[in-house]
């Protein structure tokens, strides 16, 4: 049977995937955000993952973008790529994936396959999603319909490692379906696939990818804090240690975004529900979540040492996205730096040329449209994100932005003469 594919969720994951599949299959992209659908139909992707030319080519190939569930009825493969965030207590928020599953259950037919790409804890597909599909459709799992899991591997802003160039894990609910799903992905993923033995293994593999990175960064952050108390340059220490062949060179920094700062909580939630307390992972989360306060405190400390007032002080924050050279602000920890500074009644300006103007207006963040070089306005400058253009700012330009003694807090290690570097 010829595959007709519906992609549920057209964000950073779903849209590039839909585009890749559209080169070989009939594809419908579904999203509940009308503004998003309208923009995509007009050939504009605000995530900047696809160009206007790529979108138009996909539309010419027959790909559709819709909010109408009825447009999905003729599909026989449904791929769910919705966000899986955490709530204010750091518990998994499965609302988007549950609602998407409920929607699919209303149109599910015999022989259909539902594949999940959203990051979840091991067991979620079969324990949470399958019962919803059965109840809504009246069909029986692994007899009438089947499921699969292929964890998303998207790196926002990376134009080299795009979706078809990153090896993909696949899994299915039966050996036959697993092979079918693997062949489906293999038909578009030039980097190849890895067929996992079970859906749970594939889910677990995804969640530990980012948990490992989180723990590694937490170690670097803790080392940076230790060396700071010793008045030792952390970067110099890492450069020296990296001369040993088996030392893994990483850097300290903020941990935000939709993966590293979120996924570990899915694993810890499941572990704790089974009676195991994952102290190392939770400890890493605690360290990384505390870095925003540390950075804000350093700015405050150096302003006090320079006899600058705090109340009403002007502070410039360079960058608000969760990583360099992309417009993604999801779960960015720069927002926490801003909040900490505002607690001292400081006036904060944020400059980030990667964030679309309409997105700036929609956020409760004090954006400025351009850098006021020569204004001598700011009592402190925090370089929070390593965008390429920020690397081009000279020491003289930093000084022209600074009021009296320049105070430059360098989170990313890109400033020539910072006051303090993480």
Of 129, 259, 326, 346, the active-site residue reads 259
d(CA 271, CA 275): 7
Three-class SS of the chain: CCCEEEEECCCCCHHHHHHHHHCCCEEEEECCCHHHHHHHHCCCCCCCCCCHHHHHHHHHCCCEEECCHHHHCCCCEEEECCCCCECCCCCECCHHHHHHHHHHHCCCCCCCEEEECCCCCCCHHHHHHHHHHHHHHCCCECCCEEEEECCCCCCCCCCCCCHHHCCEEEEECCHHHHHHHHHHHHCCCCCCEEECCCHHHHHHHHHHHHHHHHHHHHHHHHHHHHHHHCCCCHHHHHHHHCCCCCCCCCCCCCCCCCCCCCHHHHHHHHHHHCCCCCHHHHHHHHHHHCHHHHHHHHHHHHHHHCCCCCCCCEEEEECCCCCCCCCCCCCCCHHHHHHHHHHCCCEEEEECCCCCHHHHHHCCCCECCCCCCCCCCECEEEECCCCHHHHCCCHHHHHHHECCCCCEEECCCCCCCCCEEC
Tell me the CB-side half-sphere exposure of residue 145, using CA atoms within 13 A.
29
Q: Are 128 and 94 in contact (CB under 8 A)?
A: yes
d(CA 94, CA 175): 27
d(CA 422, CA 420): 7
C-alpha 249: how far from chain center: 22
Instruction: Show the tokens assigned to 402.
Output: 């600074």
326 is catalytic: no
d(CA 104, CA 205): 25
Catalogue the active-site residues: 259
């Amino acid at each position: 049977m010829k595959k007709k594919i519906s992609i549920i969720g057209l964000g950073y994951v779903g849209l590039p995937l839909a585009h890749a599949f559209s080169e070989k299959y009939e594809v419908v992209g579904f999203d509940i955000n009308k503004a998003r659908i309208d923009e995509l139909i007009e050939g504009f992707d605000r995530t900047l993952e696809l160009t206007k030319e790529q979108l138009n080519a996909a539309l010419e190939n027959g790909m559709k973008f819709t909010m109408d569930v009825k447009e999905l009825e003729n599909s026989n493969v449904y791929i769910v790529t919705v966000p899986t965030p955490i709530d204010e207590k750091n518990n998994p928020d499965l609302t988007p994936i549950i609602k998407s599953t409920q929607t699919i259950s209303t149109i599910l037919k015999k022989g259909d396959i539902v594949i999940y790409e959203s990051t979840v804890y091991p067991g979620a597909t079969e324990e949470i999603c399958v019962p919803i599909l059965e109840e809504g459709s009246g069909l029986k799992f692994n007899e009438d319909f089947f499921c699969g899991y292929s964890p998303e591997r998207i790196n926002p802003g990376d134009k080299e490692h795009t979706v078809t160039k990153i090896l993909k894990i696949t899994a299915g609910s039966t050996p036959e379906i697993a092979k079918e799903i693997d062949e489906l992905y293999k038909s578009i993923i030039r980097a190849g696939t890895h067929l996992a033995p079970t859906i749970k293994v594939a889910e677990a593999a995804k969640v530990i990818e980012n948990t490992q990175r989180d723990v590694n960064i937490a170690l670097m952050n803790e080392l940076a804090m230790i060396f700071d108390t010793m008045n030792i340059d952390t970067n110099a220490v890492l450069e020296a240690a990296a001369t040993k062949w088996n030392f893994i060179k990483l850097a300290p920094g903020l941990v935000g975004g939709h993966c590293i700062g979120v996924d570990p909580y899915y694993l810890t939630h499941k572990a704790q529900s089974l009676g195991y307390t994952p102290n190392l992972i939770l400890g890493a989360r605690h360290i990384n979540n505390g870095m925003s306060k540390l950075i804000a405190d350093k700015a405050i400390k150096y302003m006090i040492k320079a006899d600058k007032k705090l109340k009403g002080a002007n502070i410039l924050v360079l960058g608000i996205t969760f990583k360099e050279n992309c417009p993604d602000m999801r779960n960015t920890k720069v927002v926490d730096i801003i909040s900490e500074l505002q607690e001292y009644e400081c006036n904060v300006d944020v400059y980030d040329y990667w964030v679309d103007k309409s997105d700036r207006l929609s956020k409760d963040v004090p954006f400025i449209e351009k850098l006021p070089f020569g204004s001598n306005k700011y009592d402190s400058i925090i370089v929070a994100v390593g965008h390429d253009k920020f690397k081009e700012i000279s020491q003289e330009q930093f000084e022209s932005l600074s009021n009296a003694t320049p105070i430059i807090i360098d989170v990313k290690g890109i400033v020539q003469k910072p006051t303090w570097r993480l």
